């Protein structure tokens, strides 16, 4: 084992570094394997210096370690920051890519929408509205060839002279009718229809819808070119065009739309019936002439006479004789030559049956039409008769009876006997309001207190205006009467008269109004709600009446308008010197407050009863739901295995009741 012995430094002026001697060091031993054994022989200045130096080295090492650790931490933090920045950059790039993709997708969607819009615009065509004038005018055009075919095809088939003498004209007219029929089919493919309240303009939809209808099949059959058979059968058989009669529904549609458009529907219905009668008689006449031709002209007294006779050889006489016979037979009002052969008997019997059925229907329709035409007059006459009977029973004076009858005559002659509310009750509220606004709004705006009111309030009031007609000498109101309504003059003249009823102070004419202050019941008014003048009708006067109850009912929904109207009424009373300011400044009337409190208590009572009823219903439904849930739980719950020592629980009374019910 080596021993380390510190040497004493030479006493020289300069300090030498310490030296360590290795004594008794064996061969093969390295300095690192030697355990130093420092023997402090004496405490000199060299030994102290060595200790301080070693402490300084340790401190430096620790500082260096700390510094290295800090550097490592800083490097780690830098790396982490770099990683975080890289991630953020990647995320930002990803977001930018996604945004770009979204923008591209949006652009694609926009392009697709534009393409679809263009395609739809290309698909959409100019469509004819079935409720418009263009459609109605086209129905009139298509009705002309339909009527032509229904009347002249059978006539040309039965009367040969009619076909042969005007053959070229018939060909031209037939060609024009066929072109109109083809145009009608094209027109049908351009006729729109409503889908979800909107007019469909898609060409494909319109075409498909028309092709699915039964009318399309009839139209196709009517367009079969049967005129080719002229080349086979000859030009004397116009009955090959009978397929053109299948367009008769267009004629019927035209008549229906004309009936809804005209102001004289009853006259149109009667004219249509006359037309149907003439067509039936015309067809029967043509069939009679053809039947006579088949049996032989002049063979007996039933058939048409021999046309070789100049008197019966003309075309006009042939048609007139056949029409006369057909009219007598179908109407059964005249005598016709009796049939001779069996076929003639069958023909006449068939004619009689057809005539009875058809004309019974026609006469019934004519009777109902005439009844409808006179329904208003009959109802009005029934009212007059009832009042006449009442006046005679109560022994009313003749003068008053004459005045009542004159009043009724004035109503009927001036077409004012119709009850507006009764007539308009079948319309929806919006249309009824629009009609009332169109008729009465300008009149209502003339009233000063309603000039600046809300539009909604004016609409409400317009619907509540009631027309009234007064005869000459009638008092509209008298001085001291309680004012429960206001009046607006529509027609006629009224006079403000003295108590004697003769002296006239002012004459009120069309557009004037009175009684608006009394229905507002303004506090402090010296007149109160009493009338302050006598107003009498000079001639027949037509007035609009607005009652106080209707006004207050409308004002409940418009409190601001109510305050505005009351303020305007106060200003008018102040101008006329009819407002007591002390009474008006006292505040609300205690009676009005009591009435409001009573109304509130009654409303509260009704609400409480309704709430109690709803609560009871709620509890009942809750109990029912609980019972159902418990039953379902018992049905769905798996059976539990009972322990050998456990006894089942005693049944509850509710359970026993349920079992009894089951």
pLDDT tens-digit readout, 469-487 = 898 988 999 888 888 888 9
Asked if the model's pLDDT at residue 14 lies above 60, the reply is: no
Report the distance separating Cα 203 and Cα 198, nearest Å: 15
Higher pLDDT, 220 or 72: 220
pLDDT for res 283? 94
Band the pLDDT of 240: cuts 50, 70, 90. very high
pLDDT computed for residue 17 by the predictor: 47
Specify the pLDDT at position 657.
Answer: 47
Q: Which of 622, 523, 620 is nearest to 563 (CA)?
A: 523
The torsion angles phi and psi of 508, rounded to 5 degrees, stand at -95, 135
Q: Compute CA distances 180 → 25, 90, 146, 185, 191, whole Å.
A: 139, 73, 10, 9, 16
pLDDT given for residue 639 in this prediction: 59
| Amino acid 25: pLDDT | 45
183-236: pLDDT as tens digits: 999 999 989 888 887 888 888 888 899 999 999 999 999 999 999 999 998 888
Average pLDDT over residues 81-101: 84
pTM to 2 decimals?
A: 0.59
pLDDT at 638: 65
Most confident of 78-87, 369-378, 396-405, 507-516: 396-405
Ramachandran quadrant class, 296 (left: phi over 0; alpha: psi -120 to 50; beta: rest) = left
The confidence score (pLDDT) of residue 179 equals: 95
Poorest-confidence range of 309-313, 317-321, 445-449? 445-449
Which tens digits make up the pLDDT trace of 535-592? Answer: 999 988 989 898 888 888 888 888 887 778 778 777 877 777 777 666 666 655 566 6
Distance CA 321, CA 154 (A): 16
Contact 283, 152 (CB under 8 A): no
Contact 455, 512 (CB under 8 A): no
The mean pLDDT of 285-300, rounded to a whole number, is 92
pLDDT value of position 514: 84
Q: What is the predicted pLDDT for the residue at 494?
A: 92
Q: What is the pLDDT of residue 356?
A: 85
pLDDT of amino acid 588: 58
Query: Cα separation of 555 and 521, whole Å?
Result: 13
What's the pLDDT tens digit per position in 415-424?
A: 777 777 777 8
Percentage of the chain exceeding pLDDT 70 = 84
Q: Are 221 and 243 in contact (CB under 8 A)?
A: yes
For residue 6, pLDDT over 50 is answered with no
Percentage of the chain beyond pLDDT 90 is 26
Does the pLDDT of residue 319 top 90, yes or no? Answer: yes
Mean pLDDT is lowest, of 165-179, 314-328, 422-436, for 422-436
Q: Does residue 450 carry a pLDDT above 70?
A: yes
Digit-coded pLDDT (tens) for 599-656: 888 889 889 999 999 999 999 999 999 888 888 888 887 655 544 444 455 555 455 5
The confidence score (pLDDT) of residue 1 equals 42
Q: Residue 144: what pLDDT?
A: 95
- Going by pLDDT thresholds of 50, 70 and 90, the confidence category of residue 105 is confident
Q: Is 38 helix (H, G, I), strand (E, B) or coil?
A: strand
Q: What is the mean pLDDT of the chain?
A: 81
pLDDT in the model for residue 289: 94
Q: Which two tokens stand for residue 355?
A: 């005539």
CA distance 148 to 432: 43
CB proximity list for 243: less than 8 A, separation 6 or greater: 221, 222, 224, 226
């Amino acid at each position: 084992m080596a021993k380390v012995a510190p040497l004493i430094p030479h006493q020289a002026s300069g300090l030498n570094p310490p030296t360590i001697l290795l004594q008794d060091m064996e061969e093969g031993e390295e300095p690192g394997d030697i355990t130093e054994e420092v023997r402090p022989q004496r405490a000199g200045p060299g030994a102290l210096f060595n200790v301080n130096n070693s402490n300084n080295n340790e401190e430096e090492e620790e500082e260096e370690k700390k510094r290295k650790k800090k550097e490592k931490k800083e490097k780690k933090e830098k790396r982490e920051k770099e990683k975080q920045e890289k991630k953020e950059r990647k995320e930002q790039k990803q977001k930018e890519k996604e945004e770009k993709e979204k923008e591209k997708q949006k652009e694609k969607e926009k392009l697709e929408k534009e393409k679809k819009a263009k395609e739809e615009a290309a698909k959409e065509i100019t469509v004819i509205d079935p409720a418009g004038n263009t459609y109605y005018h086209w129905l009139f055009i298509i009705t002309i060839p339909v009527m032509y075919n229904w009347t002249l095809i059978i006539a040309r088939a039965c009367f040969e002279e009619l076909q042969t003498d005007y053959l070229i004209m018939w060909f031209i007219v037939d060609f024009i009718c066929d072109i109109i029929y083809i145009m009608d089919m094209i027109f049908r493919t351009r006729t729109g229809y409503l889908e979800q309240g909107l007019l469909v303009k898609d060409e494909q939809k319109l075409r498909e819808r028309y092709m699915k209808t039964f009318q399309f099949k009839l139209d196709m059959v009517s367009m079969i070119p049967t005129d080719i058979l002229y080349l086979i059968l000859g030009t004397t058989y116009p009955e090959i065009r009978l397929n053109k009669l299948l367009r008769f529904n267009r004629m019927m549609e035209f008549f229906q739309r004309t009936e809804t458009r005209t102001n004289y529907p009853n006259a149109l219905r009667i004219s249509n019936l006359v037309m149907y009668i003439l067509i039936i008689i015309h067809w029967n006449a043509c069939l009679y002439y053809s039947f006579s031709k088949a049996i032989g002209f002049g063979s007996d007294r039933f058939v048409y006479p021999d046309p070789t006779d100049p008197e019966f050889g003309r075309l006009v006489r042939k048609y007139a004789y056949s029409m006369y016979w057909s009219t007598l037979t179908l109407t059964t009002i005249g005598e016709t030559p009796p049939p001779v052969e069996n076929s003639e008997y069958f023909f006449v019997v068939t004619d009689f049956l057809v005539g009875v059925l058809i004309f019974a229907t026609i006469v019934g329709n004519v009777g109902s039409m005439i009844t409808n035409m006179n329904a208003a007059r009959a109802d009005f006459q029934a009212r007059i008769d009832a009042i006449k009977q009442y006046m005679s029973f109560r022994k009313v004076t003749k003068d008053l009876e004459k005045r009542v009858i004159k009043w009724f005559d004035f109503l009927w002659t001036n077409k004012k006997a119709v009850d507006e509310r009764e007539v308009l009750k079948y319309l929806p509220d919006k249309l009824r309001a629009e009609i009332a606004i169109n008729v009465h709004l300008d009149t209502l705006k003339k009233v000063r207190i309603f000039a600046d009111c809300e539009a909604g309030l004016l609409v409400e009031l317009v619907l509540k205006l009631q027309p009234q007609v007064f005869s000459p000498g009638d008092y509209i109101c008298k001085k001291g009467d309680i004012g429960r309504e206001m009046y607006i003059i529509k027609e006629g003249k009224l006079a403000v008269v003295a108590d004697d009823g003769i002296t006239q102070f002012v004459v009120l004419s069309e557009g004037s109004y009175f009684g608006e202050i009394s229905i507002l019941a303004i506090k402090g008014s010296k007149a109160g709600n009493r009338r302050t003048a006598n107003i009498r009708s000079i001639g027949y006067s037509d007035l609009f009446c607005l009652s106080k109850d209707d006004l207050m009912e409308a004002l409940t929904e418009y409190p601001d308008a109510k305050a505005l109207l009351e303020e305007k009424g106060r200003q008018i009373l102040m101008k006329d010197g009819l407002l007591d300011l002390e009474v008006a400044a006292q505040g609300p009337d205690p009676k009005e407050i009591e009435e409001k409190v009573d109304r509130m208590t009654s409303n509260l009572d009704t609400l409480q009863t309704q709430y109690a009823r709803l609560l009871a219903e709620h509890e009942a439904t809750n109990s029912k739901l609980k019972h159902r849930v418990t039953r379902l739980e018992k049905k769905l719950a798996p059976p539990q295995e009972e322990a050998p020592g456990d006894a089942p629980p005693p049944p509850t009374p509710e359970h026993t009741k349920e079992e009894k019910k089951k």
